[in-house]
Homo-oligomer: A and B are copies of this chain.
Amino acid sequence: MIAKTKRCTLNDIAELSGVSKTTVSMVLNGRADEFRIKEETRQKILQIAEKNHYRANIYAKALQAQRTNTIGLVIPDFSNFGFAQTSQMLERLCRNHGLQLLISCSDEEPHLEAKAIENLLERQIDILITTPVCQKRKHYPYLNTIPTIQLDRFIADAPQIPYIITDDKSAVAAMVAQMINKYQLKEFYYLGGLLQLTPSEARLQGFKCGLQQAGLALQNDWISHRDYHSESGYIMMQQLLQRLGRLPQAIFVASYGLLVGVLRFLNEHQLLDQLSSQQLHLATFDDYELLNCLPFKIHSIRQDHEKIANALFQAILSLLEQKPIANQIIPAHLCWRD
């Protein structure tokens, strides 16, 4: 808005058409039939509204309807391809249904997350979708205040808050077990991210499961954990190599970010050709198109962001109708590159 030619309101249209606000409101909301507005009046109003580019003021609407048709979404990171995909699809779905998605970013920082959520609550969002940064319910005092859906992760001690996540565990287990069999692996290392996040936990569990399924006994020093920055991938790879004094037979990396660090390390130490010659078998969680463009094969696990977005949207619709929703665990796809 901001100064400039004043917007045209319901009242303006009413005056121009020589009828009352009520009539205009009914016609413009497609309830002309319901109230048996004369065809002639109807046409006139429609025409005048059209000509004047009338657009209802949603703030007035929200105020009187006591509902904003607005959904808040807090993700850790825009530049994370997966969250970007999910957000993009969800935004489209919402928009097509007259809902406005407000996207914010926590940067994995508790205080930024708190600020983002506080801001969304101020904006009277009808529903909150969040990827919680903290693990305890006590960090989220507003939880009873607003219908909430957890995305990608969940708070351990809030069983009544529904979540929509990827089935990390099954996917990792399947991939790990199959790799062991296929390559006759005698050892398998694991580089993971922040263990307190539920997906990290699930991926690690999947890894252990996979070993078990394939009958390979887990050794203590196979598992490393740090955070999800690519730098951590670099460091873990470096430490692993120092410890072993040689390249391991196989490594599962828990995220693409970590993989980038691992690759950078291997590249800087001229070890990438060990990958090409299959001396080292690499697999990663997350899938990127670039993995198809490398002179070595890295298997990957692709989350189904479309399904996730759809599930989120269905959940939104249910909540808006006050219906309860169930947790959803969306399968992931194994991408084999041979």
- On A, residues with C-beta under 8 Å from B are 1-5, 7, 53, 55-60, 62-63, 66-68, 77-79, 81, 84-85, 87-88, 91-92, 95, 100, 102-105, 112, 115-116, 119, 121-124, 126-127, 145-147, 230, 260, 263-264, 266-267, 272-273, 289-290, 292-295, 319-320, 322
Contact = CB atoms under 8 A, between A and B. Distances in A.
A151 to B, nearest CB: 15
Given A1-B66, A145-B4, A289 B122 contact: no
A309 to B, nearest CB: 11
Given A62-B59, A95-B119, A124-B58, A147 B2 contact: yes
Contacts of A60: 63
Nearest to A270: B295
A122 B263 contact: no
Nearest first, the 8 A-B pairs at minimum CB distance are A263-B293, A78-B88, A78-B84, A59-B62, A79-B84, A264-B293, A272-B295, A59-B63
A264 B5 CA distance: 53
Given A84-B84, A123-B58, A293-B264, A1 B102 contact: no
Residue in A103, A290, A320 whose Cβ sees the most chain B Cβ within 10 Å: A290
26 contacts: A2-B147, A3-B322, A4-B146, A7-B124, A55-B121, A57-B124, A58-B123, A60-B63, A78-B78, A78-B88, A78-B91, A79-B81, A79-B88, A91-B104, A92-B105, A95-B115, A100-B102, A260-B293, A263-B293, A264-B289, A264-B292, A267-B292, A267-B293, A273-B295, A294-B294, A295-B295
A116 B100 CA distance: 11
Copy tally for this chain in the complex stands at 2
Contacts of A260: 289-290, 293
A67 B104 contact: no
Contact of A85 (B78, B85, B116): B78
A60 B60 CA distance: 7
Contacts of A294: 263, 267, 294
A122 B56 contact: yes
Contacts of A78: 78, 84-85, 87-88, 91
Contacts of A67: 1-2
Contacts of A119: 95, 100
Contacts of A87: 78
A121 B8 CA distance: 13
Contacts of A273: 295
A62 B124 CA distance: 13
Contacts of A59: 59, 62-63, 68, 124
B2 A126 contact: yes
Contacts of A295: 267, 272-273, 295
A273 B272 CA distance: 12
Contacts of A266: 293
